[in-house]
Chains A and B, each alone.
Chain A
Amino acid sequence: MVNLETSLCGLNLSNPLIPASGTFGYGYEFAELYDINILGTFSFKGTTKDARFGNPTPRIAECEAGMINAVGLQNPGVEKVISEELPKLKEVFNKKVMANVSGFSVEDYVYTCEKLDKEEQVGWLEVNVSCPNVHGGGMSFGTSPEAAAEVTREVKKATTKPVIIKLSPNVTDIVSIAKACEEAGADGISLINTLLGMRIDLKTKKPVIANKMGGFSGNAIKPVAVRMVYQVYDAVNIPIVGMGGVSTAEDVIEFMLAGASAVEVGAANLINPYVCKDIIETLPRVMEKYGITDLKDIIGGAH
């Protein structure tokens, strides 16, 4: 018998599988397909203070071994998420859920996190600092250690639940940003968000996506993600949620060896809606193949 259990910021997970924000909605589309309570947890659609329609379409472009998206954080706003989405989520999911939060100012983050922190079903706040700071010249919070730390510090002051900062990979030195978040009180780090990318249509000779640029995800980004998880694991003492191109049980093990305590699955959910179920079912067999009896034992094992 193998043990798939892990823990994240003091909360136990029956396994390390977490569908990533923006690829799993609020859970109920997938609950039509399988019992999503088999998941460790899931990170729900990125939520902002106000409702957002997001970017114009096309929002999606295909790449080799991946895709680019520029959805633009479409969501109904935190009040409606709490009044309409969370009650529906509760009907199909009985575990603690991860609330993914985005903002365009420190005040936005604090407002949204404070509201979601009060929701019983929310177990963790995953704070996406990849958004542009409207008061900081549009620079992403996640590209400066100071700005990322400020968001972390202010959110921590306003909340009681574990705060996981989700980092952007579009930076020169991810380690300094992770350390700044840890020093500011973050309970965990999740990485990586998507890599900034672009595709150009040869027929129209223009970018495929209306927003021109978007976030590149999928299998192709896995080596970048594994490397960043590995580097951050060396530098911080808080748990890491690893993600980027995960689509198999082998990928999960690779991320945990790099230093992840839990692993998110993103774009793969869009191609194979059963991918997380498949991974959970095949994980014991793959663990046995590599002589692993307890997943917790391999976290950071590659160091």
Chain B
Amino acid sequence: MYQGIYTITENKKIAKDVYKMIVEGDTSALTATGQFVNIKVDGLYLRRPISVCDYDESTITLIYKVVGAGTEIMSTKIPGETFDILVGLGNGYNTDKSGENPLLIGGGVGVPPMYGLCKKLVKEGKKPTVILGFNTADEIFYKEEFEALGATVYVTTVDGSVGTKGFVTDVMKDLEYSYFFTCGPMPMFKAIENTAVTSGQYSFEERMGCGFGACMGCSCKTKYGNKRICKDGPVLEREEIIW
């Protein structure tokens, strides 16, 4: 974990209520895809945990949806402005078990961490397939970015405006894959849990106090004992989760 001041270099709307922000600063504390950062927003007491979409030696890409006061303020920031950010939080995805043909499933704002993960899997010589689930056409983002990585990409929309009509599991049930990784809302997780035929990893969300394991605000029970979503997660393996 590293606390630093990060400078915004880009902050633009990429879909309905969804923004892409790039910040510049020390990224050495990021050790895995699927980790998150915790952003101090002026005037608000608690930091805002946001998953990392992608990062390199000096920049972090964050994609967030405006859902409340914190993300609302974030969306008004312009390049040159700064944030106090805690970087390198959580465990992230472990790609060791992915096999050759992993399936990546992102739902809504669960899509962003799938991008960094996809990039990593491709770099490791694997052939990821990606399912991106949205409600409707104007919510869709990053389809082309995933395709540019060389992944096979399926889009589902609940209203059928783009791609397969329905849910991510409507595509998942007909695919073959060696392992799966997912991030998204709880109803999607439950549907995946009922559909999946391999092991996999789920990235969970919870209301957090600190984001680094001190306050026990986001604890959950697992088959391997109590875990803190922020520190021992947010990624949990399918085998340990108690639904």
Cβ contact within 8 Å between B214 and A24: yes
- Classify chain B's interface size: 20 to 34
Cβ contact within 8 Å between B219 and A54: yes
The winner among A23, A269, A273 for most chain B CB atoms within 10 A is: A273
Would you call B209 an interface residue if the criterion is a C-beta within 8 Å of the partner chain's C-beta atoms? yes
Q: Which of B3, B45, B47, B217 has a CB less than 8 Å from the CB of A274?
A: B3
* Count of chain A residues near B, Cβ 8 A: 34
Secondary structure call for the A interface: loop
Q: Which of A59, A219, A271 has a CB less than 8 Å from the CB of B218?
A: A59
In the complex, chain A residues 61-92 whose Cβ is within 8 Å of any chain B Cβ: 61-67, 69, 71, 74
CB distance from B90 to the nearest CB of A (A): 13
Cβ contact within 8 Å between A63 and B45: yes
Known contacts A32-B1, A59-B207, A273-B3; is-contact A74 B226 (Cβ 8 Å): yes
Chain A, Cβ-Cβ closest to B207:
A58
Tell me the number of A-to-B contacts counted with CB atoms below 8 Å.
88
Chain B, Cβ-Cβ closest to A219:
B45
Would you call B44 an interface residue if the criterion is a C-beta within 8 Å of the partner chain's C-beta atoms? yes
CB distance from A215 to the nearest CB of B (A): 12
Q: Which of A30, A60, A65 has a CB less than 8 Å from the CB of B214?
A: A30
Cβ contact within 8 Å between B219 and A53: yes
Would you call A29 an interface residue if the criterion is a C-beta within 8 Å of the partner chain's C-beta atoms? yes
Cβ contact within 8 Å between B216 and A22: yes
Would you call B42 an interface residue if the criterion is a C-beta within 8 Å of the partner chain's C-beta atoms? no
Cβ contact within 8 Å between B209 and A60: yes
* Cα of A202 to Cα of B213 in the assembled complex, Å: 29
* Cα of A273 to Cα of B218 in the assembled complex, Å: 17
Would you call A272 an interface residue if the criterion is a C-beta within 8 Å of the partner chain's C-beta atoms? yes
Residues of B within 8 A of A58 (CB): 206-207
Residues of B within 8 A of A30 (CB): 214
Residues of B within 8 A of A218 (CB): 45
In the complex, chain B residues 21-56 whose Cβ is within 8 Å of any chain A Cβ: 40, 44-47
A–B pairs, 10, beta carbons within 8 Å: A25-B214, A53-B221, A57-B207, A59-B209, A67-B209, A69-B215, A71-B215, A271-B45, A271-B46, A271-B210
Binding site for A on B (CB under 8 A): 1, 3, 40, 44-47, 86, 206-210, 212-221, 226, 231
